[in-house]
Amino acid sequence: MNIAAWLARTALISPDKPALLSGTSVVANYAEFARRVRAIAGTLFNVQGVNPGDRVAIFAGNSVNYLEALYGIWHAGAVAVPINAKLHPAEAAWIVQDADARVLFADNKYVADLSQRLSGSDCRIIAIDDESFDQFRCGPELEAPVPKNDDDMAWLFYTSGTTGKPKGVMLSNGNLQAMALTYFVDVDDVYSEDAILYAAPMSHGAGIYNFQHVLKGARHVVPPSGGFEPAEIFDLAARLKNVHFFAAPTMVRRLIDLARASGADGDGIKTIVYGGGPMYLEDIVEAVDVLGPRFCQIYGQGESPMTITALPRETVADRNHPRWKERLASVGRAQSCVEVRIADGEGDTVPAGTTGEILVRGAPVMAGYWNNPSATAETLRDGWLWTGDMGSMDEDDFLTLKDRSKDVIISGGSNIYPREIEEVLLQHPDVREVSVVGKEHADWGEVVVAFVVAGNEGSIDAGTLDAHCLDHIARFKRPKEYRFLRELPKNNYGKVLKTELRLMLQTKDGTKND
Ligand code: AMP
């Protein structure tokens, strides 16, 4: 089934319901949203010569037009290629060429630059934020969504590519349907009076969560800032009510800080789904203290989008459960449409409590990487997705993530999981943020280095933190060096860039050895 059919159906049953909002202003109801989508699809198909299965890329910040473009592409039977808006135009051009896109919708400010970079290709570039896009909205309408099979590709999602070039994850209509429908079972309910706020990039998880809200005829709200501004989010939520949004843990941290400083209590926020990176125990406990039981966690990756495990609101908030903190430190249990197991290097399942690589199988798992059979063969083996994440499962099937396998530090032959050290350091009241990486060392192979953002600037030193670690973890795990930063480097999804921290280690020296 073409996933765009969901919009066409909702528009029939709820034509007058507000659909697209910029801040609190309604710019289209569902009838108008669907009409614009039919026109965009018709223009792509009849005027631009886009055929079913062709790729159409988007390189733009969050906007209402973004959602219209996505549905126009799907309605025409084409494949959307949403590109991270924070990439350099050269990187975006590389993706457009790798995907062999026929059309690129881009923010006006990039059009001239990208036209030069793509001058040799036959990709047409259309500004998504000016009158060029209005012409698409007024074009000839394509009445019904082009029929698609569940295994036809709908979304070509380029991974962040921290090592080498990004890889295109092929997500089918069926993968996206499984992701969307499972959300209602394992993550949260959505009702027609609800609103989804696109506070994180629509090219990624936040955009992937549009489907549940289209299905239920809820409101789609793009904040006027186009991004994540905690004050704006509190203000919009209070005015819109019943607001859901996806936030990376570092964004949740910023919400807590503002709530503490301003007294905001999260009025109007129904659900914050957090995930995409480690949520430290101290932070989620504080988040629930300050903002109440509004949080659910998901664990997923582009290759099984938003859908590996979930920790629902009740478990996050259930303080009376004897294992509440243990469960809160986990990423929850397998979502209903997938099997999850922990394997050793041979692919054999390891006993409960043992750390190994996390493997996933089920309906949301990608078909493979675009034009990259060797990467596909490495990642999809015997029907299982090898996530590259390390973790362990308890007797009740709660999964605790350790780290990406490539982030594990091997020091003197022992495996050290940075997450464990980070959790301990965050318990210190003067530590605001921390990230732990390995640094090459002639004798030990690697040593542990902690990058720390102090809560009160200058109020903490390495000696204090060393003593704190000695009180909580084995000696060999504690950092040999501390670096104090004003802030940690993050990408626009709010993920800490460990690769940049490792680069910093190459430029300065000063390892403190025992
Ligand atoms: P991406 O494919 O860019 O969405 O990145 C996916 C990766 O983010 C996963 O493989 C994990 O390493 C990490 N991740 C996703 N969700 C969580 C979570 N809830 N807790 C910790 N790490 C997560």
For each of the domains in the chain, give its residue range(s) and CATH number, in order of start.
1-181 (3.40.50.12780), 408-512 (3.30.300.30)
Return the higher-pLDDT residue of 143 and 276.
Answer: 143
How far from the centroid of its chain's Cα atoms is residue 245's Cα?
A: 12
pLDDT score, position 215: 98
Q: How far apart are CA 106 and CA 83, in angstroms?
A: 10
Distance of alpha carbon 427 from alpha carbon 226, whole angstroms: 34
- Mean pLDDT for 233-251 is 96
When pLDDT is averaged across residues 208-227 and rounded to a whole number, the result is: 97
Residue 511's pLDDT is what? 37
Task: Decide if pLDDT at 510 tops 50.
Answer: no
Is 313's pLDDT higher than 90? Answer: yes
Q: pLDDT higher for 67 or 510? A: 67
198 lines ligand 1 (CB under 6 A): no
For ligand 1, whether the C-beta of 401 sits within 6 Å is yes
**Nearest-angstrom CA–CA distance, 433 and 485:** 9
* The most confident of 64-78, 156-170, 269-283, by mean pLDDT: 64-78
Q: What is the pLDDT of residue 402?
A: 87
Query: How far from each other are the two terminal CA atoms of the chain, in whole angstroms?
Result: 62
Ligand 1 atom nearest the C-alpha of 305 is: 4
Which of residues 475 and 169 earns the better pLDDT score? 169
**Residue 382 predicted with pLDDT over 90:** yes
Indicate whether 276 pLDDT > 60.
yes
**Residue 348 C-alpha to ligand 1 middle, in angstroms?**
23
Q: Quote the CA–CA distance of 474 and 445 in Å, as a whole number.
A: 18
Q: Among 28-32, 362-366, 454-458, 493-497, name the one with the lowest average pLDDT.
A: 454-458
Cα 421 to averaged position of ligand 1 atoms, centre (Å): 18
DSSP string for residues in 142-159:
--SPPP--TTSEEEEEE-
Among 3-12, 317-326, 395-404, 450-459, the range with the most confident prediction by mean pLDDT is 3-12
Q: Is 299 in the pocket of ligand 1 (CB under 6 A)?
A: yes
Can you read off the two tokens belonging to residue 291? 């903002």
- φ/ψ of residue 427, rounded to 5: -70, -20
* pLDDT tens profile 323-375: 999 999 999 999 999 999 999 999 999 999 999 999 999 999 999 999 999 99
Q: Per-residue pLDDT for 513 more than 60?
A: no
**3-state secondary structure (DSSP) of residue 456:** coil
Ligand 1: atom nearest CA of 297 is 19
- Ligand 1 touching residue 418 (CB < 6 A): no
Nearest atom, ligand 1, residue 204 CA: 4
- At 412 the pLDDT is 78
Provide, rounded to the nearest whole percent, the portion of the chain with pLDDT above 70.
Answer: 97
Q: What b/e string do you get for 157-194 counting C-beta neighbours within 10 Å, with b at 16 or more?
A: bbbbeeeeebbbbbbbbbbbbbbbbbbeebbbebebeb
- Minimum-distance ligand 1 atom for the alpha carbon of 401: 21
For residue 277 and ligand 1, the question of a CB distance below 6 A is answered with: yes
Q: Which of 29-43, 51-65, 181-195, 486-500 has the lowest mean pLDDT?
A: 486-500
Q: What is the average per-residue pLDDT within 103-107?
A: 98
Predicted local confidence at residue 458, as pLDDT: 62
Q: Is the CB of 135 under 6 A from ligand 1?
A: no
Is the CB of residue 356 less than 8 Å from the CB of residue 390? Answer: yes
Ligand 1 atom nearest 279 alpha carbon: 20
For ligand 1, atom 4, the nearest C-alpha belongs to 301
Compute the distance between CA of residue 439 and CA of residue 509 in angstroms, rounded to an integer. Answer: 10
Ligand 1 centroid, distance to 248 Cα (angstroms): 10
Residue-level pLDDT at 69: 98
Percent of the residues in the chain that have a pLDDT greater than 90, as a whole number:
84
**With 70 as the cut, is the pLDDT of residue 42 above it?**
yes
With CA atoms as reference, report the closest residue to 283 among 247, 235, 309.
247
Nearest alpha carbon, ligand 1 atom 15: 276
Beta strands in 14-165, from DSSP E residues, in sequence order: 18-22, 25-29, 55-59, 79-83, 101-106, 124-127, 153-158
Classified as helix, coil or strand, 441 is: strand
The Cβ of residue 293 has, within 10 Å, a number of other Cβ atoms equal to: 13
Residue 298 Cα: closest atom of ligand 1 = 19
278 Cβ below 6 A of ligand 1: yes
pLDDT of residue 91 exceeding 90, the answer is: no
Query: Is 80 exceeded by the pLDDT of residue 509?
Result: no
Give the ligand 1 atom nearest the CA of 274: 19
Predicted local distance difference test score (pLDDT) of residue 159:
86
Closest atom of ligand 1 to 331 CA is 19
Q: Is any ligand 1 atom within 6 A of the Cβ of residue 297? A: yes
Q: What is residue 86's predicted lDDT score, i.e. its pLDDT?
A: 82
pLDDT at 455: 86
Separation between Cα atoms, residue 58 and residue 41, nearest integer Å: 15
Q: Tell me the sheet residues that pair with 28.
A: 20
- Per the prediction, the chain carries an average pLDDT of 93
**Residue nearest to ligand 1 atom 9, measured at CA:** 301
User: Pocket of ligand 1, candidates 301, 330, 400, 497: which has the most ligand atoms within 8 Å of its Cβ, to mutate?
Assistant: 301
**pTM for the predicted model, two decimal places:** 0.88
C-alpha dist (Å) from residue 21 to 52, 124, 125, 224, 415: 29, 28, 26, 10, 49
pLDDT tens for residues 150-187? 999 999 999 865 456 789 999 999 999 999 999 999 99
Residue pair 3/207 in contact (Cβ under 8 Å)? The answer is: no
Q: Using CA atoms, how far apart are residues 452 and 474, in angstroms rounded to an integer?
A: 20
Q: How confident is the model at residue 461 (pLDDT cuts 50, 70, 90)?
A: very high
The pLDDT value given to residue 164 = 62
Mutate to test the pocket of ligand 1, among 156, 253, 299 (most ligand atoms within 8 A of CB): 299
386 in contact with ligand 1, CB cutoff 6 A: no
